[in-house]
Amino acid sequence: MALVGFPDDGPRVLSVYEGFFSGGARVLHTAVVRSLDATTAQRHAVLGLTNRSVREGTVQTAEADLSHQRLRAAGVPVEALERETHEPLTPFHLAAVERAAAQADVVLSLKEQPLIALREVERPVVACLHRSDPEHSGAGLEQLVELTERGVVVAAVCCARSTQAAYHAATGIPLDQLPVIPNGTDLRRFRSSPQDRAEVRRDLGVVGDAPVVLLSARFDPMKDVGLFVRSAATFLRRYPDAHAVLCGAGMVATNPALADLLAAAGAPTDRVHLLGIRADMPRLYNGADLVAITSAYGEAAPLSLLEGMACGAVPVTTDVGDAALMVADPRLVIPDRDPDAVARVWEAAFEQREEHTERILRHRQRLSDQRCFDAYAALIRRLAAPQALEVAV
């Protein structure tokens, strides 16, 4: 028997985003869409529920978003509703979503938040979950439970084991409807580059082999930027030539809350670099010795750890989500949330960086996103199969 019958040889897949703004989940899902559209018979499209977002004090438009640009560059059809994040979804908006979903065989919802717009679609919906604290998902969690019970949501993909465990406990959704597809990163983009390292460190004013610690995150309580800043101030006192780099939404000098944190910690402003949202993350990771996570909760499989490791930076993290499993060395897991303790772990990781980097690069292939792509492709094929025809050959 052979499975045939899809128009143009492949299932049609619509991904629905809450909006287009910076963040690891959007980066990862966009990579999945671009890969499957280019390398399989599947035909993908993306719909954003907003075309203008205000997050972490930063206005982000769809056209300026890097994921939006990468989708368009890859030839993936992408649209965004004319609305802002604070505006309600009107019947006009919902009708547009339902029309788009009707053209697909399978619908992917990036996180739970878009599910509010997918209540009446008549296609199998897969929620793609990217955190380990469902209690902070707001109404999205209620939508996930209700739509799963109604059979609208047929699976909720978890990017980490911690995600699966947390959502199973919070919702009672059976484990077989919560498959784990671990995150990965593009090893062609994120790789070691001596030239990038030299250029970035020169641009930052780093002298010789002085340590550079980098945080790539949005300015949000979940990320505990305050802990990073206080730890960085301690670390920079111990290493008078060290530098700290903060990048992501809200990581700018014009953010008064961040400015207050830096002033309170006494961090030397000439060696703390606030870079905001960046399009050149592979370069920046190459310039760093340490890639840090200081999050208090919510993380699942932080993409910044994978990207940094792929470029040769040593990861150091608090024990959130699957982060400890990802760094694969207890010496790189911060034991408590005290800035002195964080700085001590950073110091040890820096002094042992050659050992850590050799181990990470030796097993670099485990960071690849290809297994993630293959797993999503297989799941979509399985869910779309009832709409295909079986014929004897």
- Residue range 47-102, pLDDT digits in tens: 999 999 887 777 889 999 999 999 999 999 999 999 998 899 999 999 999 999 99
> Residue 157: what are its φ and ψ, rounded to 5°?
-70, 135
Q: Architecture of domain 194-367 in CATH? A: 3-Layer(aba) Sandwich (3.40)
Res 1 pLDDT > 80: no
3-state secondary structure of 278: coil
Distance of alpha carbon 331 from alpha carbon 355, whole angstroms: 12
Intervals of CATH 3.40.50.2000 along the chain: 2-183+369-391, 194-367
User: Interior CA angle at 373 toward 371 and 377, to 5°?
Assistant: 115
Distance of alpha carbon 77 from alpha carbon 186, whole angstroms: 22
Report field, pTM of the whole predicted structure over 0.85: yes
Q: Which CATH superfamily is domain 2-183+369-391 in?
A: Glycogen Phosphorylase B; (3.40.50.2000)
Residues 305-345 have pLDDT tens digits of 999 999 999 999 999 999 999 999 999 999 999 999 999 99
Res 385 pLDDT > 50: yes
State CA 371 to chain mean position distance. Answer: 16
Give 90's DSSP letter: P
Distance of alpha carbon 25 from alpha carbon 45, whole angstroms: 17
Residues 170-194 have pLDDT tens digits of 999 999 999 999 999 999 999 999 9
